[in-house]
């Protein structure tokens, strides 16, 4: 088997395609989460907290002239918010899966053989 055909067989396996789709969806979802954090959460919750702590211009916090620790603090805060939001999303998904798994399955319908045996049983009961 040639190298090209081996690569083709590898690349077209279901897992590789699923992974590629997951990466693309993840990138798109990352943009949604970033927008949610930057455009919704930060203005509502983070900005008042930073202003209260007198850190309203966190980007301007600099030490030794070039070390922008304010940007680092901002990145850490954004990471914590994103991680918490994703934690809540995963927790909700797991709860939904757990409820789905706990739902009892309907008993299977009796087979033709079982139906026939039930008829024989009922006929024998009525005979006595």
CA distance 128 to 100: 47
Buried b (16+ CB within 10 A) or exposed e, 103-114: eeeeeeeeeeee
Q: Cβ(70)–Cβ(62) under 8 Å?
A: yes
CA distance 24 to 113: 51
CA distance 27 to 90: 17
- Domain extent, residue 7, equals 1-55
CA distance 47 to 57: 10
Inform me whether the pLDDT recorded for 88 exceeds 80.
yes
Check residue 83 and give its pLDDT.
Answer: 77
Closest residue by Cα to residue 83 from 37, 48, 22, 45: 37
Which of 34, 55, 76 finishes a domain?
55
Which of 40, 55, 70 finishes a domain?
55
Do both 49 and 66 map to the same domain?
no
Total domain count, the chain: 2
Do both 66 and 49 map to the same domain?
no
Do both 95 and 116 map to the same domain?
yes
Does pTM top 0.75 for this prediction?
no
Do both 30 and 91 map to the same domain?
no
Do both 126 and 74 map to the same domain?
yes
In the chain, % of residues over pLDDT 90 = 11
Q: Cβ(61)–Cβ(55) under 8 Å?
A: yes
Do both 49 and 71 map to the same domain?
no
Check residue 120 and give its pLDDT.
Answer: 92
Do both 68 and 102 map to the same domain?
yes
- The pair of structure tokens assigned to 116 is 């026939």
pLDDT in tens, 25-83: 777 777 777 777 777 776 777 667 666 665 556 666 677 777 777 777 777 777 777 77
Do both 49 and 88 map to the same domain?
no
Check residue 14 and give its pLDDT.
Answer: 62
For residue 67, report the phi and psi dihedrals to the nearest 5 degrees: -85, 110
């Amino acid at each position: 088997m040639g190298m090209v055909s081996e690569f083709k067989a590898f690349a077209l396996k279901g897992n590789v395609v699923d992974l590629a789709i997951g990466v693309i969806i993840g990138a798109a979802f990352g943009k949604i989460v970033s927008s949610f954090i930057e455009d919704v959460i930060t203005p509502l919750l983070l900005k008042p907290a930073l202003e209260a702590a007198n850190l309203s211009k966190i980007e301007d916090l600099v030490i030794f002239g070039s070390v922008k620790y304010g940007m680092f603090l901002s990145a850490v805060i954004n990471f914590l918010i994103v991680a918490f939001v994703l934690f809540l999303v995963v927790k909700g998904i797991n709860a939904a899966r757990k409820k789905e798994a706990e739902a009892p399955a309907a008993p299977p319908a009796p087979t033709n053989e079982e139906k026939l045996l039930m008829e024989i049983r009922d006929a024998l009961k009525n005979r006595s």
